[in-house]
């Protein structure tokens, strides 16, 4: 029992040293412009601002992706999040969001490609192609954000109405903060 207690104390002493040695890119400050929570109370979709070298970068976080095929998606990765690049100004971010929103107004199964980053924590520089597809499963229109890898698909589904709310949130934020670019 004494050995376990000693090990726990040593571990608690080592954690601050390990945390201070981490790269600051993982601990980058971010600002949430607008966010919509899902049914579980966690962030389902959000627009984030990540400053880097006195330059803002805006991303749309669409949440965690499932693994599977076109029919079944199993959510087994609790840490990776898909970020869609929106641009370096709020105006560019709003335009890109409206472009994505337009896919949801086109006929079902219409697709478009955008650049996205599947990362843990915060977006990295490793962008890949993300397909945004308008789907209508049963009662609701959704946008499918999917990444194809090695014969399987990683996807998440965002209700079209939620994306419309995010676009409205960015427009409202721009009105409140006219000096922010």
pLDDT score recorded for residue 119:
86
DSSP string covering 114-165: EEEEEEESS--S--EEEEEEEE--SSS-EEEEEEEETTEEEEEEEEHHHHHH
The predicted-structure confidence for 104-157, as pLDDT tens digits, reads as follows 999 999 999 999 998 887 888 888 899 999 998 888 899 999 888 887 888 888
Provide, rounded to the nearest whole percent, the portion of the chain with pLDDT above 90: 33
Instruction: Tell me how far CA of residue 58 lies from CA of 36, 54, 152, 179, in angstroms.
Output: 16, 13, 28, 16
Q: In 3-state terms, what secondary structure has residue 64? A: strand
Between residues 179 and 76, which one has the greater pLDDT?
Answer: 179
The predicted-structure confidence for 68-107, as pLDDT tens digits, reads as follows 766 676 666 677 888 999 999 999 999 999 999 999 999 9
Phi and psi at residue 50, to the nearest 5°: -120, 105
pLDDT of residue 65 exceeding 60: yes
pLDDT score recorded for residue 9:
64
Which of these, 122, 119, 143, lies nearest to 50 by C-alpha position? 122
Banded pLDDT at 19 (limits 50, 70, 90): low
Query: Which residues, listed in sequence order, are joined to residue 58 by a DSSP beta bridge?
Result: 49, 87
């Amino acid at each position: 029992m004494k050995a376990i207690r000693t090990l726990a104390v040593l571990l608690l002493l080592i954690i601050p040293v390990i945390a201070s040695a981490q790269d600051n890119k993982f601990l980058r400050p971010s600002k949430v412009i607008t966010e919509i929570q899902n049914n579980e109370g966690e962030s389902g979709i959000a627009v984030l601002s990540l400053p880097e070298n006195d330059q803002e970068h805006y991303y749309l976080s669409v949440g965690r992706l499932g693994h599977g095929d076109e029919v079944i998606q199993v959510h087994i990765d609790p840490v990776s999040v898909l970020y869609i690049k929106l641009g370096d100004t709020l105006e560019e971010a709003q335009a890109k969001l409206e472009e994505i929103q337009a896919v949801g107004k086109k006929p079902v199964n219409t697709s478009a490609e955008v650049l996205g980053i599947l990362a843990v924590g915060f977006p990295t520089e490793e962008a890949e192609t993300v397909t945004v597809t308008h789907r209508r499963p049963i009662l609701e229109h959704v946008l499918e954000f999917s990444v194809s890898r090695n014969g399987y698909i990683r996807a998440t589904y965002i209700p079209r109405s939620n994306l419309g709310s995010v676009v409205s949130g960015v427009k409202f934020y721009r009105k409140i903060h006219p000096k922010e670019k």
